Amino acid sequence: MAGDLFTTSMPAHRLHPRFIEVRDHVRFQPARELMNDVFSRMPSPDKNFVPDFQTVGFDARVWELYLFAALTFSGFDVAEPYDQPDFLARRFGESAWIEAVTANPPQVATETVSLPIQRVVEDLLPIRYGTPLKRKLGAEYWKRDHVAGKPLVIAIADFADDDPLRWSHAGLHRYLYGKEITLTSPIGEKLDGSLSDVTAHTLGKKSIESNFYGLPGAENISAVFFSNSGTVMKFSRMAFDRVRYPHLLMVRVGVRYDSDPRAFVPAAFAHIVGEVPETWLESGVALHNQAALHPLSSSYFRGAAQYRGPDTASGGATTDPIQSTTKIFVAENGKSFSAEEEVEIRAWAEERRELTQEVFRRSLAAEHRRQSKTRDESKE
Instruction: Give the chain's radius of gyration (CA, Å).
Output: 21
pLDDT of residue 107: 47
Contacts of 287 (CB under 8 A, 6+ apart): 169, 172, 173, 176, 177, 223, 224, 225, 226, 306, 307
pLDDT of residue 106: 59
Which stretches in the chain have pLDDT values below 50? Answer: 1, 107-111, 113, 375-379
Burial grade of 317 (CB within 10 A; 0-12, 13-18, 19 or more): buried
| pLDDT tens digits for range 358-373 | 988 887 666 555 555 5
| pLDDT tens digits for range 70-117 | 999 999 999 999 999 999 999 999 999 999 999 976 544 444 546 777
pLDDT of residue 192: 54
pLDDT of residue 108: 42
* pTM of the model as a whole: 0.90
pLDDT of residue 250: 98
CA–CA separation, 232 and 189 (whole Å) = 39
pLDDT of residue 290: 95
**Cβ contact 156:226 at 8 Å:** yes
Strands 200-203 and 206-209, bridge-based pairing: antiparallel
| pLDDT tens digits for range 135-163 | 999 999 999 999 999 999 999 999 876 66
CA–CA separation, 25 and 187 (whole Å) = 46
pLDDT of residue 194: 62
pLDDT of residue 370: 58
CA distances from residue 108 to 104, 204, 260, 268 in whole angstroms, order as listed: 12, 13, 42, 35
**Cβ contact 287:176 at 8 Å:** yes
Single out the residue of 166, 169, 278 nearest to residue 229, CA to CA: 166
CA–CA separation, 158 and 163 (whole Å) = 10
Phi then psi for residue 214, to 5 deg, are: -95, -5
Contacts of 11 (CB under 8 A, 6+ apart): none
- Dump strand ranges (E) for the chain: 77-79, 87-91, 94-103, 152-158, 179-183, 193-197, 200-203, 206-209, 223-227, 248-256, 267-272, 284-288, 305-307, 321-330
- In sequence order, the β-bridge partners of residue 305 are 285
Q: How many CB atoms lie within 10 A of CB 201?
A: 23
